[in-house]
Amino acid sequence: MNYGFVNIYWRDMIRFVRFRTMLFSSLLQPALWLAFFGIAMSSSFDSLMSGVPIPPGAHAVGYLTFMAAGIIAMTTLFTCLFGGMIILFDKNWGLMREILASPMPRDHVIIGIGLSGMTKSFIQAIIIMVFGIIIGAGFFVGFSAVQIAIAVLGILVFVAVFGLGFLFLSAGIAISMETPEGMQGIMTLLTMPIFFASNALYPLNAFPEFLKVISTYNPMTLLINGIRYFAIGDDFMAMGTHYVYTTNDILLSFAGLVAFALIMYAFARWRFHKAVVT
Amino acid sequence: MVAQPLTENEAIITVENLEFSYGDFKAVDGISFTVKKGEIFSFLGPNGAGKSTAINVLITLLALQKGKASVAGYDVAKDPQKVRESIGIVFQEITLDRDMTVWESLEFHGKLYSMPHTDRRKRIEELLILVQLENKRDVRTKNLSGGMKRRLEIARGLMTRPKVLFLDEPTIGLDPQTRMRMWDYIKDVNKEGTTIFLTTHYMDEADQLSDQISIIDNGKIIISGTSWQLKNTLGQDIIYLETSNNDASIQLLQNLSSVKDITTKSHGFLVSVHEDGTKVLPTIMERLHKAGISIDTVNLKKPSMDDVFVYYTGKEIRDEPIGKSGFISLRPGGH
């Protein structure tokens, strides 16, 4: 058994901790989103929605609670899409040659980068949850300690699979690119539709039909389904929309994310085995 | 400087009709050579001659296109994984993570090659001392000088004690003291059984270190042999002497079998020899001594590797300094 991926992981985490500015900005950015966008939007939306009747059995949640789940997903998306950037830097500045010429199987680079990106996403997700609750997001309301633990675990599992999918995609793109600028361009192109064609900030039901289809199968939406299910509950009312999640819905969302991550892994593997770095 | 005679060692690198093209451009055009186990082999050529491409195929960073190549008994096309396990590499360009420390760079490398923990830590300490970076272990590599980076990379390449060590211009940018030190260490590693595959632009380095030299240009190998054989293709060694009695000396030396020709100069005379001048010189000195003739000045001029290189590749390398020509001066009465 080769533990090469642990080495890649170790090195990427060293860099994460070492770059203080990067570390703090990556932790602060989601909190700022919540603090400014969240509070501003929730104060206007909540007053707009105040007259909407609530169906029996469902509990109403404010916009801040609704979008906090979206912010966890957004932060994971950004962190993971850019998580492969280090591979491009290594490719341009040499270390990738040393790695590819070593006996370590190339798959371990992908796995190591995946795991370190996942760790960063975990830290960020927990910070958003804690900060969100502090400023008033209604997460885990009425949960017992055990239920909270299970819910947090559930959220992290969803974040992990989603995050790995995008980290693999990012790694696969990075090893194929020549310049950071090019990679930046592709990432920006990808971020827009994935983020906005999802239920992160608003419900899908008012979307035009084609956009609704795309959004429903968007991994971002699948992740947010999972987060809301675990953090808010299986029956709630938000943004004038009644959300009901069955266990089946959640299992299907999860299966969708697993499929996505596996396909992205295959993509990254293919790119790495084709990669020529001299 | 005198090459050791070839023993019947097995080949550790075998290359047959290797070709490699980038699109229409043939970077390597059908080269063949073997490197014997335990040798220090120098691969010389001007920039763009095809050296790096050939090396990249041997270290499996480029996929084999045409021909055959095996390293440490493994075919580079069929068994790249085994090849990688058997080799160490010091790349031509710096391949360090700027934001890792010296120690971390070595630790990372040891782990890449699955070195056991205790071996790894022990070797890191040894090598840090060898390359005199023991006080820099916690310094990030971006804060090292060029020479220090190079030393760190050499230490890294030596960590795994590979069967074959590829050194692609390893001593660029090092001061003479550090180069000497590196040579000594490279020789030690070689004595312990690691075959060395060296490319360099320092001709004196190739001359002093290698058992075998191949010169490549335009993708083809132009000539191969020991440094002595290569220099011999250019012409003989020349010995310059000034003695207390030049005429008598010439009389004495003329009929020596190793002496080819003697030319008189204003204060002395030039003796061109058939054989290695360093071996003929003691005989000459002994003969003059016995005849009671004292020697005032001796000078031995050998064709240098620079001369050989420029003769065969037709152009000097301009971006790297080249070593001094091979004048060896001896004091009168010296041994």
Specify the pLDDT at position B6. 42
pLDDT value at B63 more than 80: yes
Specify the pLDDT at position B321. 32
- B261-311: per-residue pLDDT in tens? 788 888 888 888 877 788 888 888 888 888 888 888 888 887 778 878 877
pLDDT value at A116 more than 70: yes
What are the CA-CA distances from residue B75 to residues A100, B59, B81 (Å)? Answer: 18, 11, 10
The residue type at B275:
E
Distance CA B79, CA B73 (A): 10
Residue B263 or A155, more confident: A155
- Give the whole-number percent of chain B exceeding pLDDT 90: 36
A102–B61 C-beta distance less than 8 A: no
| A19/B contact by beta carbon, under 8 A | yes
In terms of average pLDDT, the best of A2-6, A49-53, A68-72 is: A68-72
Nearest to B33 by CA among B25, B22, B50, B47: B50
Ramachandran quadrant class, A144 (left: phi over 0; alpha: psi -120 to 50; beta: rest): beta
Site from A10, A11, A96 to mutate, B interface, most B CB atoms within 10 angstroms: A11
Residue with tokens 């000539």: B223
- Give the whole-number percent of chain A exceeding pLDDT 90: 59
- B126-152: per-residue pLDDT in tens? 999 988 899 999 999 999 988 888 889
- Chain B residues touching residue A18 (CB < 8 angstroms): 99
* Nearest residue in chain B measured CA to CA from A108: B112
Average pLDDT over chain A, rounded to whole? 90
Specify the pLDDT at position B182. 80
Distance CA A7, CA A216 (A): 38
* Nearest residue in chain A measured CA to CA from B63: A276
Distance CA B274, CA A143 (A): 98
Specify the pLDDT at position B9. 63
Specify the pLDDT at position B315. 57
Specify the pLDDT at position A36. 87
B104–A101 C-beta distance less than 8 A: no
Average the pLDDT over each of A36-45, A170-179, B5-14, B277-286 and give the range with the smallest value: B5-14
- B201-212: per-residue pLDDT in tens? 888 888 888 999
Specify the pLDDT at position A18. 87
Give burial (CB, 10 Å; 0-12/13-18/19+) of A172: buried
pLDDT band at residue B324 under the 50/70/90 scheme: very low
* Nearest residue in chain B measured CA to CA from A87: B97
Specify the pLDDT at position B4. 43
Specify the pLDDT at position A17. 87
For chain B, list residues whose CB is within 8 angstroms of any CB belonging to chain A.
Answer: 52, 56, 59-63, 81, 84-85, 89, 91, 93-100, 104, 108-109, 111-114, 156
Helix (H, G, I), strand (E, B) or coil at B201: coil
Which domains, from first to last, does chain B contain?
11-231 (3.40.50.300), 234-330 (3.30.70.100)
- Taking residues B171-191, report their average pLDDT: 84
Specify the pLDDT at position B54. 92
Specify the pLDDT at position A93. 81
- B82-123: per-residue pLDDT in tens? 999 899 999 888 889 989 999 999 999 999 999 999 999 999
pLDDT band at residue A153 under the 50/70/90 scheme: very high
Measured in Å, how far apart are chain A's first and last C-alpha atoms? 28
ipTM of model over 0.85: yes
pLDDT band at residue B5 under the 50/70/90 scheme: very low
A18–B95 C-beta distance less than 8 A: no
- Taking residues A165-193, report their average pLDDT: 93
Residue A72 or B304, more confident: A72
- DSSP string computed for chain A: ---HHHHHHHHHHHHHHH-HHHHHHHHHHHHHIIIIIIHHHHHHHHHHHTTS---TT-EE--HHHHHHHHHHHHHHHHHHHTTTHHHHHHHHHSHHHHHHTSSS-THHHHHHHHHHHHHHHHHHHHHHHHHHHHHT--TTTT--HHHHHHHHHHHHHHHHHHHHHHHHHHHHHHHH-S-HHHHHHHHHHHHHHHHHSSSSSS-STTS-HHHHHHHHH-HHHHHHHHHHHHHT-SEEEETTEEEE--HHHHHHHHHHHHHHHHHHHHHHHHHHHH----
CA angle B18, B22, B23 (to 5 degrees): 120
Specify the pLDDT at position B213. 92
Nearest to A163 by CA among A78, A231, A249, A229: A78
Residues near B279 by Cβ (< 8 Å), separated by ≥ 6? none
pLDDT value at A249 more than 90: yes
B112–A99 C-beta distance less than 8 A: yes
- B16-38: per-residue pLDDT in tens? 999 999 988 888 999 999 999 99
Distance CA A103, CA A99 (A): 8
* Nearest residue in chain B measured CA to CA from A274: B63
Instruction: Give B21→chain A minimum CA distance, Å.
Output: 14
- B216-256: per-residue pLDDT in tens? 988 889 889 888 888 877 767 788 889 888 888 888 888 88
- Chain B residues touching residue A3 (CB < 8 angstroms): 114
What is the DSSP pairing of strand A241-244 with strand B40-44?
unpaired
